[in-house]
Amino acid sequence: MKPILFFIGLFLGVLPFQSQAENISSTIEAVTVFKQNAKVTRTANISLKKGNNEIVLEDLTPAILAASLQVQVNGDATLLSAAHRTNYLKDIDKPKKVAAIQDSLENLNYDFQWLNNQIQILQGEEKIITQNNPLGSNKEKGFTVKEMESLSIFYRRRLTEVKKKILDIGRESKKVQLEINRLNSHLKSINQKKDRPTGELVLHFFSPSVKTVTIKCSYLISNAGWSPLYDLKSKSISSPVQLVYKANVYQNSGYDWKDVKMKISTNNPTANNSRPILNPRYVQFYLVSHQAYRSNSSYGETTLNMATVSPESAKINSEVVQNSPGFDGSAYPSVEEPLAMEFEVPYKQEIPSDGIGHIVLMDEYKLPADYTYHVVPKLDLGVYLLAKVTDYGQYNLVAGNANIFFEDTYVGQSYINPSITTDTLLLSFGRDERITVKRTRPNNLDMKKTKTGTIKETHGFEIEVRNNKTVAIDIEVLDQIPLTQVKEIEVKLTEKGGAEYIEEFGKLLWKMKILPNSSKKIRFEYWVKYPKGKYIMGA
């Protein structure tokens, strides 16, 4: 019989069965991890008798999203119903390592007690030596010099040995106590897991004869997910960029994932899949109110135009504002979601149930790149090395943090954002301290010239870039002049120094090649004209 696939929603009906349920265990075969949530696939072999059978798949996480449950039967049997439930009465069985931990604790406690006993014995000996010092007795004839030397040597030698042993044993006792504390904490965490409820799948089958079938169950759990992480490595500005694509996977289901096949997905399985409904839209007049808008929290109502209306009516009024001709919807741009992608991890993985991120290697690429240096001296005199990667869509990247390595040295962190609209992805490889930049104002500028009714100011800057490296570099220098939105203020670029001028943004861009141990200077000037008697800022 072909495998039968059931998509089980919130199915709670259970048919009456006279036979007692049979509890069986299962193993995790595969896991698909989404940005939030994870799909767990379990397999089990079950023995069915002729007729109706009730099977309980036990020892599962209680964090199962019931609507996601799917059961596939491989064999000549019919699945009648399936439901998920939480068992609050049965504890999770103790792992086998608990017995080993308890044995270790018993041995450590014995050692700790014996060490403390030794310290007490030595402290008693120390007390006997110090309290029974014969040099302090009232001996009539006193002690000879030889007797005093002999007693002093004994006192010093033996007391030193005793104190040294007390310190050594005390140090050893502290180590044993730390290990006891560590094992007790570990045992406590295991016992906490033991006291949690477990999940179960209740399956009802009909079998025409006695047989064994294989079932495969899959479901979503909510306490798991992943985030992207990259390593960007480059040996030199003539080498391709090595991109290591990794996933930081976490899960806290209560059960470790051991030796499982894993997939990493950017999909969102809990997204709303209902089609959008387009309702009629009506145009109407929008009346601007000059009254203050205030909220009357005492009665849960909103006061608008001095008329009392409900919060729902106020919301509708707000929607009218947004749909009016004067409302600028461009301030709320829509965000385009990337296409869902899925990566099959090449090796089986082990992810413990600790809620901590664990690095999983997803893929590795060599990206052809063009390198250039980039500096914006108005904001930062640091020169940054950029790698320009084209046709990056084929690598299925997701926005995330990246560790940057250049010439086998860690240079810091950056952020990869592939959801940009340009055809080139810029990857920053950090600052290069061997390239220096200066930005200064020439002394003969910033002069004010007053004419009839207007003031004209001349501004300018001189930028010097020095390459202290032993190889030639390509560098982009970016600066700007101010823009004006006021008719009475005029701005004009008079000298751009060979730059590419982007008038819309007032940007000046220089692309230069600088030889080793050489410098280049660039200069730009502009003037600003405005009415006399007024003041400007930002020039």
Least confident of 16-25, 64-73, 486-495: 16-25
Distance of CA 236 to CAs 239, 367, 405, 416, Å?
5, 13, 10, 20
Give the tokens for residue 438.
């200066």
Distance CA(350)–CA(180), nearest Å, equals 28
Is the pLDDT score of 313 beyond 50? no
Tens of pLDDT, residues 172-208: 989 999 998 888 887 776 666 555 678 889 999 999 9
Model pLDDT, residue 42 = 93
User: What's the maximum distance between 2 C-alpha atoms anywhere in the chain?
Assistant: 124
Residue range 132-141, pLDDT digits in tens: 666 555 555 5
For the chain, which residues make up each domain, given as ranges?
97-194, 226-269+341-369+391-424, 436-531
b or e along 118-157 (b: 16 or more beta carbons within 10 Å of the residue's beta carbon)?
A: bbeebeeebeeeeeeeeeeeeeeeeeeeeeeeeeeeeeee
pLDDT score of 86 more than 80 = yes
Q: Say whether pLDDT at 343 is over 80.
A: yes
- Tell me if 384 sits within 8 A of 428, measured CB to CB: yes
Share of the chain above pLDDT 70, in %: 77
Q: CATH classification of 436-531 is 2.40.10, yes or no?
A: no
Average pLDDT, the chain: 79
Instruction: Quote the pTM value.
Output: 0.59
Beta-strand relationship, 257-265 and 27-33: parallel
pLDDT bucket at 142, cuts 50 / 70 / 90: low
User: Based on C-alpha coordinates, what's the Rg of the chain?
Assistant: 39
Task: Give 372-427 pLDDT, tens digit per residue.
Answer: 999 999 999 999 998 888 888 788 788 888 898 988 888 888 888 877 757 788 88
Q: What is the pLDDT of residue 510?
A: 95
